Amino acid sequence: MSSPVVTPDPNEVYEDPLDLMGEIEELKKEKDASILAHFYVDGDIQDIADFTGDSLKLARDAIKVKSSTIVFSGVHFMGESAKIMSPQKRVLIPDMLAGCSLAESCPADQLAAFQEQLRADGRTFDTVAYINTSAAVKSLCDWIVTSGNARDIIERVPADREILFVPDQHLGRYLMEVSGRKMILWPGSCMVHEIFSIQDLIRAKRNTPGSVVIAHPECPQNILELTDFIGGTEKMRQYVMSIKDPTTFLVATESAMIHAFEKSAPQHTFVPVPGIMTSTGETCACNRCPHMARNTLQKVRDCLKNESPEIEWKDYFQKARDVLDRSLLQ
């Protein structure tokens, strides 16, 4: 696994964020563009976005957008999904290298070979993919889930069929627990959620009496066992908003999420659960996704200005579109 530590881009010269925001506003008008931003990108980008949200909401927002251009500030599979959902629009992403460890863990050729092997063994199954996959993988699947709709979709898979769940083994295990369905799990995981350590969480709980732990279901089982509320980013946001009394939450997900929590429920205190802690008490920046962190105000401005990089339509997107449509829109 590559190192998750975020290093600043040495080629990026400092520019005043307020100037950048002003330039982006102008360029949005000039280029007839809207910005969609996932909760995991920097707060300043969320603040200038036209739509913010979790993977499910943003995939649906991509259809609602009125402008002819979408700038998707998130990671590559999200921009790809927006293009698939809205093929007539131009979809730009600030950095083509903003990938996803989960998507990388499940290459389409390996999935196709595994499906072939299962079929040869006489197994009848539906393949359910987490949206954190490439379009090529989506085109090989029967259903797409996000953390926001996964339980509902699992219930739609006929009971007489097995489920092959890709690529997140932790989300898959959690879904097996809550749905009671057995699944064949692909051994992928998210580099950010995978790295939360149980020792850090226990220490954080001890240091913060009365705190409430909230965690994304991409976390491993040992973290979820100590969690008070498990949900995707939007479900967690709704949960903290539903609690009126000021509360301290220990947050086991990507740390940029705290920006959306603080805006939505300012009465609370949000403490990020650190990643691996050294014996001297220092933490790495492991709860920051290095791919999401590739999104900067400068790159948002540049991609609007240059109208590049762009997600181009590919033939196999049509098959992926059919699967996304029936999973997210029906």
- CB of 146 vs ligand 13P, minimal distance in Å: 4
- In angstroms, the CA 307 to CA 322 distance is 28
203 vs 235, beta carbon nearer ligand 13P: 235
> What is the distance between the alpha carbons of residues 46 and 139, in angstroms, rounded to a whole number?
30
CB 144 within 8 A of CB 328: yes
What's the closest the beta carbon of residue 289 comes to ligand 13P, in angstroms? Answer: 7
Nearer to ligand 13P, 46 or 55 (CB): 55
What minimum distance in Å lies between the beta carbon of 132 and ligand 13P?
Answer: 5
Nearer CB in complex with ligand 13P: 27/35: 35
The residues binding ligand 13P (CB under 6 A) are 40, 54-56, 132, 146-148, 218, 232-233
The smaller minimum CB distance to ligand 13P, of residues 189 and 233, is found at 233
* Angle made by CA atoms 279, 280, 284, in degrees to the nearest 5: 85
40 or 317: CB nearest ligand 13P: 40
Question: Cα separation of 122 and 27, whole Å?
Answer: 56
As a dihedral over the C-alpha atoms of residue 297, residue 300, residue 304, residue 307, rounded to 10 degrees, the angle is 140
Cβ 237 to ligand 13P, closest distance in Å?
A: 9
- Shortest distance in whole angstroms from residue 37 CB to ligand 13P: 12
Torsion sign across C-alpha atoms 81, 174, 326, 138 = positive
Q: Which amino acid is at 6?
A: V
